[in-house]
Amino acid sequence: MIAPLNMRDFYLSKENMQSIRENDNPYVMKLREGYGDSVYEEDRAQSLKGKWLIDIFKNQNPLDIEIGTGNGYFFAHQSFQNPDRNLLGFEIKYKCIYQTIRRATSLGLLNAKMIRFHANVIDQVLGENEVDNVYIFFPDPWPKKRHFKNRLIQDDFLQNIYKIQKPGSFIEFKTDNPEYFDWTVEKFKNSPYEIARLTYDLHTSEWNGENFRTHFENLWTRKGLKIMLLRAYKSN
Ligand SMILES: C[S@@+](CC[C@H](N)C(=O)[O-])C[C@H]1O[C@@H](n2cnc3c(N)ncnc32)[C@H](O)[C@@H]1O
């Protein structure tokens, strides 16, 4: 069963409000019928805090997370390329969860699972030092000043993510929005993270060769926008 989100603590855009109207959403039934052992709803996800490896993945491999998987191109690629790592995806839109998990399971991947959960309060489903690498690609930039409070990257959020990551692991962030990138760089500078990679033009940088272009990355690149990347480590 996939339960509705607990909306108590969140501001939700109109679009996201729509996504929680389960009865109107054709993807809810598809997920319930076909992917019950790969997609975890809010209550179940919270009960698995600290136990994802033992209870769900049933191995001791690293546990990476992707926040905002969208249609799941990176998610499927990453889990396929890294069978010795686990990948847990966070999404709030049913359609995106469906697209993502269908893409991964059609490749027969058992190391890829999804949570329907607001990543803003990620520490409700993941315990301290439970997570390895974290990927956040093209989160909504909320460009209007009055909406900055809705941005994912906030001081509290980085503190929470830092706590749930293992020492030596990294967090990677990509965006096409220079203003949101500057905001993010400042937030990381004010956090315990150590910035190791920073570029305002990823596709001409030394890291381009190892970069996988996500769906949104392709969209913005085709429009002539530059892609920015930050990678930061939790020190050992
Ligand atoms: C602009 S899309 C980017 C998708 C993908 N990462 C890519 O690069 O193609 C942002 C995604 O983040 C999801 N999202 C937004 N806020 C979220 C939150 N608080 N927790 C989890 N996912 C969220 C949205 O539903 C959307 O699918």
Cβ-proximal residues to 156 (8 Å cutoff; 6+ apart), any chain: none
Which range (35-39, 120-124, 144-148, 230-234) has the least confidence? 35-39
User: For ligand 1, is residue 96 a contact (CB within 6 Å)?
Assistant: yes
Q: How many residues does the chain have?
A: 236
Taking each helix axis from N to C terminus, what angle separates 73-81 and 94-105, rounded to the nearest 10 degrees? 30
Q: Which of 87, 136, 138 to mutate to test the pocket of ligand 1 (most atoms within 8 A of CB)?
A: 138
How confident is the model at residue 21, as a pLDDT? Answer: 55
In a domain, 8, yes or no: no
pLDDT tens-digit map of 35-89 = 988 999 989 999 999 999 999 999 999 999 999 999 999 999 999 999 999 999 9
What pLDDT sits at residue 33?
A: 86
Ligand 1 near 137 CB (within 6 A)? yes
pLDDT exceeds cutoff 90 at 20: no
**Whole-number pLDDT of residue 32:** 86
Stretch 214-231: mean pLDDT: 98
Distance (Å) from CA 13 to ligand 1 centroid:
13
By C-alpha distance, which of 116, 148, 136, 138 is closest to 43? 116
Instruction: Count CB neighbours of 73 within 10 A.
Output: 20
Amino acid at 138: F
Pocket-testing residue among 13, 92, 121, 174, ligand 1, by greatest number of atoms within 8 A of Cβ? 92
Q: How far apart are CA 59 and CA 168, in angstroms?
A: 20
Name which residue leads in pLDDT, 155 or 13.
155
Q: Does 7 fall in a domain?
A: no
CA distances, 49 to each of 123, 170, 178, 194 (Å): 8, 20, 35, 26
Identity of residue 208: N
**Is the residue at 5 inside a domain?**
no
- Please indicate whether residue 140 is annotated as part of the active site: yes
Parent domain of 226: 14-233
When pLDDT is cut at 50, 70 and 90, the band that residue 19 belongs to is very low
Q: Ligand 1: distance of its center to the CA of 140 in Å?
A: 7
Measured from the CB, is residue 214 less than 6 Å from ligand 1?
yes
Q: What are the CA-CA distances from residue 141 to residues 25, 57, 176 (Å)?
A: 26, 32, 9
4, part of any domain: no
Number of domains in the chain: 1
User: Ligand 1 pocket, 57 CB below 6 A?
Assistant: no
Asked whether residue 4 carries a pLDDT value surpassing 80, the answer given is: no
Of ligand 1's listed atoms, the one at least distance from the Cα of 93 is 25
Ligand 1: residue of 17, 73, 91 to mutate (most ligand atoms within 8 A of CB) is 91
Cα–ligand 1 centroid distance for 92 (angstroms): 8
| 57 domain-assigned | yes
Which of the following is catalytic: 140, 155, 176, 201?
140
Residue 134 lies in a domain: yes
For residue 193, is pLDDT > 80? yes
How close is the Cα of 204 to the center of ligand 1, in Å? 25
Q: Residue with structure tokens 């706590």?
A: 163
In a domain, 1, yes or no: no
Does the model's pTM come out above 0.75? yes
- The CATH number of the domain holding residue 108 is 3.40.50.150
Separation of alpha carbons 119 and 121, rounded Å: 5
Does residue 53 belong to any structural domain of this protein? yes
Q: Is 47 helix (H, G, I), strand (E, B) or coil?
A: helix
User: Would you say 104 and 66 are in contact if contact means Cβ atoms under 8 Å apart?
Assistant: no
Q: Give the Å distance between the CA of 127 and the centre of ligand 1.
A: 22
Q: How confident is the model at residue 17 (pLDDT cuts 50, 70, 90)?
A: very low
